[in-house]
Amino acid sequence: MPLMKGMIIKLKQQNSQNLDKEENKTKKIKKDLKINKKVIIYIIIALVIIYLAYTIYLLIKQPTNIFTLEEGTLYSEETNIGYIIRDEVVVQGENYKNGMEKIKAEGEKVAVKEAVFRYYTKNENSLKQKIAELDTKIQEAMENETETDIFTSDIKSLETQIEEKMLGISSINDTTKLEETKKEINELITKKANIAGDLSPQGSYLKELIEERKNYENELNSGAEYVNSSKSGIVSYKVDGFEEVLKPTEECFSALSKEYLEKLDLKTGKTIPTSQECGKIVDNTYCYIATITNSEEAKNAKAGDDIKVRLPSGEEVPAEITYILQEDNEDIVLVLKIEKGVEELINYRKISFDLIWWSEKGLKVPNQAIVKQDDKAYVVRNRAGYLNKILVKVKKEGEKYSIVESYTTDELKELGFTSEEILSYKKISLYDEVILNPDLEKVKE
């Protein structure tokens, strides 16, 4: 029995040891699998990174050699600072300290000797209050006389107009238009009252009220100072004090220099404030922009040259160089005349703008795609894998791109092409694909 027990115990110990070995073996296998999975994942990530890096390298080292022709515009331009020179006259009266009422709105056209604005009288507020009170009394008196015959067709017509304007006044957002509408309503009410007063019997209450109102109106108008236009043009209340300094005269142009303009101490893009004491009449048919530059194009420019200007709004307008002055250093003073976009510049005295020396529209192609041969320009067109060498006319060449087009029949004749060559001449068109850096030796004619 003791021997049997010893054998059983020994067997149990062996089984336990075997189980521990199996368990350790299993743990080791699982651990190895985890390590292998991580290694595989790291290898995959490394391969992806290598692939992406290689792809980027190929794109940089060997970019696509195909370019699709599209419509485009080439510019030779520079951004400059410009000073606005206008033909403008300030209009001002004696009673400018009283405050002013605008008769003509900002930007409105005015004729010679036409009223632009008026200065208030000293007792204006008091007189207007009295007139307003009388208007209320007159309206009440007119309503009390509905049984009489004073309400003629003229009065009814005026009442209809007043009612229409009163209904529409709530939808007006523009301040100037609102003031104009209120003024029109007051004028219609005055007309209505005057007609009623003329038809009322002498000595009536309504007649007395209307006569009293007329007296106040006469007092109001007689004390007001009206300021009239000295020339035709458009009205502006943007007055900055430089109207007599920057004006289109030979004296002004000859005084222009970089130092002179900088001493004016103007801020670029700043809106001219609105004056409450005076206004001015501006010739809106033209104005000038004075600028300083030292570009190569400016050095070769001449008075009378036509160029373009891109205004702060983005609008491109024609311009003419009317005055050129070469300073002692490399700076060049240019005075440009424009006849479009003048109203936009009335708000400013100093602007940032683009001076466009030339621009050309057409088929835009990289210079890399153009090959010169025998003083002629060629591109290689790719259509479904078929390459053709095509003669093109370069209209304008920029730093990186050119504007090209096909030759006309007459132009080909001038170049000495035969009738057969003209008939077989291939033209380029929008959305054609051309090859960059082509080898003409490997391309069929």
Q: 206: number of CA atoms within 13 Å, CB side?
A: 21
Strand, helix or coil for residue 336: strand
What is the pLDDT at residue 333? 94
pTM of the shown model: 0.64
- CATH architecture assigned to 79-88+234-359: Beta Barrel (2.40)
What is the pLDDT at residue 331? 92
Residue whose token pair is 């229409």: 164
The answer to whether 365 and 404 are in contact (CB under 8 A) is yes
In angstroms, the CA 209 to CA 195 distance is 13
What stretches of 298-385 adopt beta strand conformation (E)? 306-310, 316-326, 332-338, 350-366, 371-373, 376-383
What is the pLDDT at residue 55? 59
Q: How many other CB atoms sit within 10 Å of the CB of residue 107?
A: 15
What is the pLDDT at residue 136? 81
What is the pLDDT at residue 61? 45
In angstroms, the CA 378 to CA 391 distance is 5
Q: Which residues contact 262 (CB under 8 A, 6 or more apart)?
A: none
For the chain, the distance separating the N- and C-terminal CA atoms, rounded to the nearest angstrom, is 111
What is the pLDDT at residue 63? 47
* 225-228 β-sheet, strand order: 100-102, 115-119, 225-228
User: Residue 264, by phi and psi: left (phi above 0), alpha (psi -120 to 50) or beta?
Assistant: alpha
What is the pLDDT at residue 62? 42
What is the pLDDT at residue 431? 93
The answer to whether 312 and 103 are in contact (CB under 8 A) is no
CB-count burial class (<10 Å; 0-12, 13-18, 19+) for 340:
middle
Q: How do the pLDDT tens digits run along the chain, 445 residues long?
A: 554 555 555 555 565 655 556 666 666 666 666 677 777 887 888 888 887 776 565 445 444 588 999 999 998 999 999 999 999 999 999 888 888 889 999 999 999 999 999 888 877 777 778 878 887 887 777 766 554 455 567 677 777 887 777 777 767 776 667 777 777 777 777 777 777 666 666 557 777 787 788 887 777 776 678 899 999 999 999 999 999 999 999 999 999 999 999 999 999 999 999 999 999 999 999 999 999 999 999 999 999 999 999 999 999 999 999 999 988 788 999 999 999 999 999 999 999 999 999 989 999 999 999 999 888 999 999 888 888 889 999 999 988 999 999 999 999 999 899 999 889 999 999 999 999 988 777 676 6
